[in-house]
Structures are given as structure tokens and as C-alpha cells.
Amino acid sequence: MEEYKELSPSEFFYRNKEIAGFSNPARSLYTAIRELFENSMDACELNEILPEIVISLRKVGERQKTEIYRLYIQDNGSGIPKKHILNALGKMLFSSKYVIRQSRGTFGLGGTMSLLYGQITTGKPVKVVSSTGNSQIHQYVFKIDVRSNQPKIYSEKSYRNYRKWRGTIIEFYLEGNYPKAMRYIINYFKLTAAITPHADILFLDPYGTMYYFPRTINKTPQPPKKIKPHPHGIDLELLKTLIERSPSHMTVKEFLVKSFHRVGSSTAVKFLKYAKIRPDTKLGDLDDTLIDRLYTALTSYDGFIAPNSDILSPIGEDVLREGITKEFRPEYIDTVTRPPSSYRGHPFIVEAALAYGGEIPGQAGDITLFRYANKIPLLYDEGSDVSYIVLERLKQSYRISSDKPLAIFIHIASTKVPFKSVGKEAIADAPEIEREIELAMRTLLRNFIKYRRRVVRKREAVRRLKIYEKYLGLIARFAKQLAGREEVDITPLLRKIRSRYKVEESVETD
Ligand SMILES: Nc1ncnc2c1ncn2[C@@H]1O[C@H](COP(=O)(O)OP(=O)(O)OP(=O)(O)O)[C@@H](O)[C@H]1O
Ligand SMILES: [Mg+2]
């Protein structure tokens, strides 16, 4: 006889840790740090706070092939209201981010999963201290009960918040492999710093090394805004939920205007004509056939304006330039922002940069791809990411010759990034996104080729000038002797050659 049972969300992710990025001790350590750090960054940026984040990782024990670490992370973000602390971090699939808005977090899983991973590898509870900046600071020590998906409290304290401190501190133990994860962790912070020069990030690693990424801009990015769903981004289930949540005496027209992004009353009237539904039909009178018709019409009508992209929070070209320059000191940098676009009702923007020379890593001629989605650097699963596929294709048509390493930075900001898994490492190839990435990369590669051509031409001119300067004088002197004429001054001639090849006087020619 088969035995049937139900799994709680905690138990499901406990059994399938890999899909959330917890596959081996090195990768799990990386994912845990990343998820908690991203929560801290969200807690700051969604509330227009300049982030100050401290992460400390200390080795506290050893096992056969792995080590036990204590991870401490402190931020100056919004803090979590007392009544939500335990659920936010002690319960899987509980989130403040289940709204349509651009943010790093979306699944209600990452931070909690990191704590659960710590608990199942070390058996120790988690300590969370948080305050929203009011008169109290709250501290909880708890574990996650996997079977019931509920937090189990070990201790609970409140302190007076004399200094009006605001933020969150999380401290817990987990198994990991820092020597193997180190490269990824440091890269992750460096790449984050390269697009968030307004953040102050300090990482203390288990070897006692301090990695400090200082803030160089004192301006917070424009925070993203919440929006209502766009008619092209919904499915039948969501439509039914929206109808159920509205009063049954409301008319279809009022419902459309109230529930959807980009639907005003004249659009609603035009649309309902197209859908062949009377605008004053009451929601309570919509039967399944009518709801079906409404749904099909909503997704196929092309009279809706594309979703508004003002609600997104892109990095911005100046900030991108500043951040990359601060972290990589390139010789050449070029940035591009594509016009906003949308896919299946979700607005998105692609931003990109190409940097060359300086401290850009790699061999001469290499093009390293740095991928970002909603300001998260993506370091794993590169091969299946849409940007990688596009770049590989473009490399064939733009044969780049370069004497130094190159890097392309690609950022996609959207209210919904089509991640391939909850581990958030690779982006699926929605055709609209692929097209924008391709156009951004083409612009950057074209500009770079032009720049290289200019540099190479100049170098060639300098080489020629050296020869002219050496021989023109001699030729002039011999010519004078042969012809018995006055010596000619060749300086104006050299100046003419210099200006033809745009070589400044100051360029050394010997
Ligand atoms: N440092 C923090 N400051 C303020 N709130 C936090 C912090 N960390 C977590 N939270 C709250 O806890 C919730 C759950 O976090 P968790 O990382 O599990 O999910 P998420 O960030 O919503 O989504 P994702 O799974 O994509 O990361 C968040 O939505 C947020 O409300
Ligand atoms: Mg999160």
C-alpha cells in the first residue's frame, strides 16, 4: 500500500536544497552569504537608505572535508517590525516582496533557506536582532521547525533603543568550505561594489583579511515603485483572484481601471468593445464563459500602452561608470542604456558597459562577461544565460583584436526577471530581452572597435613620424648640397604630418 502525505514548504526545500543554490559546502556558503547580503541591500535601497553593511565570517570548527563557520551580518536597513521578525526569517515562503516591484528578493525563500541550511548542518539556532528605529530593539533566538514550517522560539528579549538604532543583525552557524568559495565570495562583493558606489561594504574573512568597498557616491538610487499588473502579464488564475477580491456590484469597467496598470477609463471602454462585453456588466454577473472571454481579450488586445518603466530603478550610466572605474580602474570605459521595453507585460531596462585595460581581469583579447539582474551579480551557470549566448554569437561577427583584457557588464532591471531557478543564477531567453541585450552589446563592441582603430592608427603614425624625423632632415641637407640651395626648415612639414594623424606635439617620437 502506498503511503500518501503532504510536505510543508520548509520540508520541500529541505529535501531539495540544490534548486535554491545549496548544493555543496562551498557553493552553499556562497549562497548563504549572498542571500542575506541581498536582503540587507533591499532593506536599505527600497527605503532610500545609504547601505552600510558588515559581514564577518569566522571559522569555529572543522569536520572531515568541511569547516564550521559563524556568519554575522549587520545592516542599517529598514529593520523588521517585531510582529514579522519570526515569520520573515523562520518560515519559508513568507515575504514583504510579493508585490510587483523591482527588488533583489522575490521568492520569500533565500534568507530563510540560508538559516535553515545552517540549522541542518550544525544543529544550532539563529539569533536575529532588529529594530525599525523606534523605542525598542528586539532579539529572538529560534530554529525553524521543518515539519510545520513554523519558527520555534528559544529565547526572546527586548531592549530600550536609546540611540535610535535601526537595522538588522543576523548571526548563525553553518557548514562550508571557504577556501573553495573564497574566489566567488570576494568577486561577488567586488562586482556588487562596481554597480553600487553608494554602498559601504565591509567583509571580514576567516583568514582575518578585511575587504573594504568604500562608498564614493552619497546619493541613493531612485527607489523602485510598486505597480498593478499589466493586462499582458496576467493569467486566468490571477484574473479570477482579482475579480474575487473586488465587490460584486462593481462594473467591469471600474474593475479594469482599478486593478490594472495602464488602463484608464477611455482605454477600458475601447477594450470592452473589442472584448464584446458591456462596460456596465457587474462583476457578480460574470460567469466562467465571460471571464474566459475577458481573459483572452485582455492578453490579446494590442491597444494597451506598454508598462511604465519609470517605476524601475536602473543603475544609471554615471553610477555605472563611477563604480566600474572605482573597482577596476580601466583605461577605456563606455556605457549604454537601452530604451525601456517590456516582455509579457513586465517592464525592463537593459544597461551595459564595456571596460578595457587597467585592472580588468583576464588575458589579452579575453572578453569577460559580468552579468547582473536587479543589481545582483550572477556568477554561476553562465553557459545557460541569455547574455552569454548573445555574446558568443556576437564574438563571431565582431572579431575583436585587443592587447589587453576586456569586460562587458550587462544589467537587466525588471519587475520580473525570468530566472531559470530559485537560485537566481541564469536568465532565460525571453526574445524581447535577448534583443535588447544584443543591441546594447553591438553598440559597445562597435564603439570599441572604432576606439581601437583610432589607437592603432595613432601608434602607426607615431612609428612613421619617428622615421620621417630621422630621415627628412638628412634628405633636406643632401638635397641642399646637391642643388647648392639654402637649407629648408622641415619643422612645418613634420607639424603637418602630426596634425594629419592627430598626434599631439607632446607624443614622444624617439
Ligand atoms: N536584513 C533585513 N532587513 C529587513 N527585512 C528583512 C531582512 N532580511 C529579511 N527581511 C524580510 O524577510 C523577508 C524574507 O526574506 P527572504 O530572503 O527569505 O525572502 P525574499 O527576500 O522576500 O525573497 P528571495 O527568496 O528572493 O530572497 C523579506 O521579504 C523581508 O521582508
Ligand atoms: Mg531575500
* pLDDT digits 0-9 by tens, 407-437: 999 999 999 999 998 889 999 989 999 999 9
Asked whether 365 and 390 are in contact (CB, 8 A), the reply is: no
Which residues lie below 8 Å from residue 372, measured CB to CB, with a gap of 6+? 191, 195, 378, 409, 410, 411, 412
* Residue in the structure block whose three cell numbers are 475577458: 294
Expressed in angstroms and rounded, the spacing between residue 56 Cα and the centre of ligand 2 is 19
Expressed in angstroms and rounded, the spacing between residue 189 Cα and the centre of ligand 1 is 19
Domain ranges for the chain = 9-213, 231-300, 310-451, 454-500
415 CB under 6 A from ligand 1?
Answer: no
pLDDT band at 484 (very low <50, low <70, confident <90, very high): confident
pLDDT exceeds 70 at position 497: yes
Q: Could you tell me which CATH number the domain at 9-213 has?
A: 3.30.565.10
97 CB under 6 A from ligand 1?
Answer: yes
The pLDDT tens digits for 105-159 are 999 999 999 999 999 999 999 999 999 999 999 999 999 999 999 999 999 999 9
76 CB under 6 A from ligand 1?
Answer: no
CA distances from 70 to 45, 116, 122, 154, 318 (A): 26, 14, 10, 19, 38
What is the value of pTM for the model shown? 0.89
> Which atom number of ligand 1 is nearest to the Cα of residue 78?
4
Residues facing residue 282 across a β-bridge: 251
If phi > 0 it is left, if psi is from -120 to 50 it is alpha, else beta; for residue 93 that is: left
Asked whether 253 and 280 are in contact (CB, 8 A), the reply is: yes
pLDDT band at 509 (very low <50, low <70, confident <90, very high): very low
The pLDDT tens digits for 213-232 are 999 999 999 999 999 999 99
Which residues lie below 8 Å from residue 58, measured CB to CB, with a gap of 6+? 69, 70, 72, 204, 206
Architecture of the domain spanning 310-451: 2-Layer Sandwich (3.30)
CA distances from 36 to 40, 53, 162, 421 (A): 6, 11, 27, 18
Average pLDDT over residues 467-472: 78
Residues facing residue 74 across a β-bridge: 54, 169
- The best mutation among 97, 115, 149 to test binding of ligand 1, ranked by most ligand atoms within 8 Å of the C-beta, falls on 97
Architecture of the domain spanning 231-300: Orthogonal Bundle (1.10)
330 CB under 6 A from ligand 1?
Answer: no
Give the model's pLDDT for residue 97: 92
Expressed in angstroms and rounded, the spacing between residue 132 Cα and the centre of ligand 1 is 15
